[in-house]
């Protein structure tokens, strides 16, 4: 499988809005010539590639120092998938990552997989076709490596044993976890985010098809209505409890915060130099007891969150972006209650820790009792899960008043390698160097 020579790596929008992948095909030849002049295989990424972009862009660059889909503004739709590698061959795994890279470059630029060049009328087409008339729709594809890619049942895999980051372990059991193994973990993960759900689903479907014979999908999750803003240019969305979610999130404009809390630094882990410029992705499928919540009073709802529902302001007063005052007392104790979510998740109560949340609402039909199988597919990107996620989750699971209405049903942790920096590179190439 060869990479498309016309794959753009610059940070700027790569496809004009509204240009379908059919029309882009016609321009592919000219693009190939331009790349030839720039030098195929050379480093193509300059400083501008660090720009996370604006909300609503029709496309985001695939290559760069960091993978897209982390600090790029959260799109409205998600299709997340975890895969298990079924081959034990290192070469097969590398071939898969190369093929995924080529497909990801094409799809994130609004071009079909295989560049639309028919192989044979008697063979299945390279691209499944359902996105042919759609543009790139801001598609980002973010790839991660799970602990079991490095070692399974005590045995190293793919010659990667010595390279497993110390923090890349299955997440511990947290109080009240009710995890379904069929919705948890996986050797690989792919987060596909787009403005249009059909584009996100098309991407996962095609990556899964390409993986046939080397990796199989273990589980997947669809999401809608992003539950976090990752850019100050975005309005704060609402979760299925009806509250604004993402107000105090780490935003891409906070460059220092992102460096400190999201990107793995050189020397963070001597066993995992390859991860510098990458991060860790934590996913938790959290069911929300919607019907019980809907029967609770507004007073109870706001007390458990620690903010008012209408505006998202802290109960200590002010407006949405006012810092909560945890010392301010009311008649029955602190106005932002001791078991409120916002107090327990605030950096001041967590040794200054922040995280970049990038989750989505989900509904997966209803259960046998006629209740919605719905909730929040929580996704966070952290520099070190042992410091920036596990301690906070431990406290929330044990003390957060919201937990009465929540049940964690799926879980996973993946190391997210840095972005692809060379035109001849592939996702995770620093790990296999």
Ligand X SMILES: C=CC1=C(C)c2cc3[nH]c(cc4nc(cc5[nH]c(cc1n2)c(C)c5CCC(=O)O)C(CCC(=O)O)=C4C)c(C)c3C=C
| Residues binding ligand X (CB under 6 A) | 239, 241, 243-249, 284, 286, 288, 305, 307, 341-342, 345-347, 355, 375-376, 378, 392-393, 396, 406
Burial of 153 (0-12, 13-18, 19+ CB in 10 A): exposed
Q: How far is the CB of 143 from ligand X (least distance, A)?
A: 23
Residue with structure tokens 């020397």? 267
CA–CA separation, 280 and 269 (whole Å) = 13
Q: How far is the CB of 241 from ligand X (least distance, A)?
A: 5
Pairing of strands 215-226, 360-366: antiparallel
Q: How far is the CB of 363 from ligand X (least distance, A)?
A: 13
Q: How far is the CB of 78 from ligand X (least distance, A)?
A: 15
Over its C-alpha atoms, the chain yields an Rg (Å, rounded) of 22
Which of these, 143, 222, 133, 136, lies nearest to 183 by C-alpha position? 222
In total, the chain counts a number of residues equal to 433
Q: How far is the CB of 426 from ligand X (least distance, A)?
A: 32
> Closest CB to ligand X among 200 and 248?
248
**Cβ–Cβ contacts within 10 Å for residue 305, how many?**
25
CA–CA separation, 44 and 262 (whole Å) = 24
Q: How far is the CB of 243 from ligand X (least distance, A)?
A: 4
CA–CA separation, 190 and 205 (whole Å) = 11
CA–CA separation, 13 and 73 (whole Å) = 13
> Closest CB to ligand X among 114 and 375?
375
> Closest CB to ligand X among 130 and 386?
386
Please answer whether residues 338 and 348 qualify as being in contact, where contact means their C-beta atoms are separated by less than 8 angstroms.
Answer: no
Contacts of residue 40, defined as CB under 8 A and 6 or more positions apart, other chains included, come to 5, 423, 424
> Closest CB to ligand X among 134 and 290?
290
> Closest CB to ligand X among 203 and 396?
396
> Closest CB to ligand X among 62 and 389?
389
CA–CA separation, 70 and 143 (whole Å) = 11
> Closest CB to ligand X among 241 and 263?
241
Q: How far is the CB of 360 from ligand X (least distance, A)?
A: 11
Q: How far is the CB of 262 from ligand X (least distance, A)?
A: 13
CA–CA separation, 314 and 328 (whole Å) = 11
Q: How far is the CB of 175 from ligand X (least distance, A)?
A: 13
Tokens found for residue 103: 């497909």
The CA distances from residue 94 to 24, 62, 156, 427, in Å, are: 29, 19, 16, 9
Q: How far is the CB of 304 from ligand X (least distance, A)?
A: 9
Helices 197-211 and 90-108: crossing angle in degrees, nearest 10, is: 160
Tokens found for residue 126: 């390279």
The CA distances from residue 158 to 6, 210, 374, in Å, are: 31, 20, 37
Q: How far is CA 48 from the centre of its chain?
A: 22
> Closest CB to ligand X among 24 and 355?
355
> Closest CB to ligand X among 130 and 294?
294
> Closest CB to ligand X among 352 and 365?
352
């Amino acid at each position: 499988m060869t990479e498309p020579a016309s794959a753009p790596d610059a940070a700027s929008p790569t496809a004009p809005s509204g240009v379908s992948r059919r029309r882009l095909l016609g321009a592919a030849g000219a693009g190939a010539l331009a790349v030839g002049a720039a030098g195929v295989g050379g480093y193509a990424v300059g400083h501008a590639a660090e720009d996370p972009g604006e909300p609503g862009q029709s496309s985001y660059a695939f290559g760069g120092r960091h993978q897209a889909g982390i600090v790029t503004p959260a799109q409205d739709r998600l299709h997340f998938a975890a895969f298990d590698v079924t081959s034990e061959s290192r070469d097969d795994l590398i071939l898969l990552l190369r093929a995924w890279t080529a497909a990801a470059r094409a799809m994130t630029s609004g071009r079909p997989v295989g560049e639309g060049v028919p192989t044979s009328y008697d063979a299945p087409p390279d691209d499944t076709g359902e996105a042919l008339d759609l543009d790139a729709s801001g598609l980002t594809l973010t790839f991660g490596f799970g602990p079991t890619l490095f070692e399974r049942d005590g045995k190293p895999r793919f010659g990667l044993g010595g390279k497993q980051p110390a923090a890349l372990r299955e997440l511990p059991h947290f109080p009240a976890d009710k995890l379904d193994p069929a919705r948890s973990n996986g050797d690989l993960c792919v987060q596909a985010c787009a403005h249009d759900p059909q584009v996100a689903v098309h991407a996962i479907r095609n990556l899964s098809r390409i993986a046939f014979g080397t990796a199989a999908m273990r589980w997947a999750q669809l999401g809608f209505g992003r539950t976090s803003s990752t850019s100050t240019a975005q309005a704060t969305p609402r979760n299925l409890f009806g509250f604004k979610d993402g107000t105090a999130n780490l935003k891409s404009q906070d460059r220092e915060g992102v460096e400190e809390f999201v990107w793995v630094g050189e020397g963070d882990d001597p066993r995992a130099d390859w991860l510098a410029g990458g991060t860790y992705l934590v996913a938790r499928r959290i069911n929300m007891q919607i019907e019980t919540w809907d029967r609770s009073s507004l007073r109870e709802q706001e007390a458990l969150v620690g903010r008012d529902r209408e505006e998202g302001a802290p109960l200590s007063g002010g407006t949405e972006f006012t810092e909560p005052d945890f010392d301010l007392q009311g008649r029955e104790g602190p106005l932002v209650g001791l078991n409120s979510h916002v107090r327990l998740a605030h950096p001041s109560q967590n040794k200054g820790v922040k995280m970049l949340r990038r989750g989505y609402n989900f509904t997966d039909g209803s259960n046998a009792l006629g209740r919605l199988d719905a909730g929040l597919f929580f996704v966070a990107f952290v520099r070190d899960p042992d410091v920036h996620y596990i301690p906070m989750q431990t406290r929330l699971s044990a003390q957060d008043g919201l937990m009465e209405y929540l049940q964690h049903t799926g879980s996973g942790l993946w190391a997210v390698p840095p972005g692809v920096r060379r035109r001849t590179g592939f996702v995770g190439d620093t790990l296999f160097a």
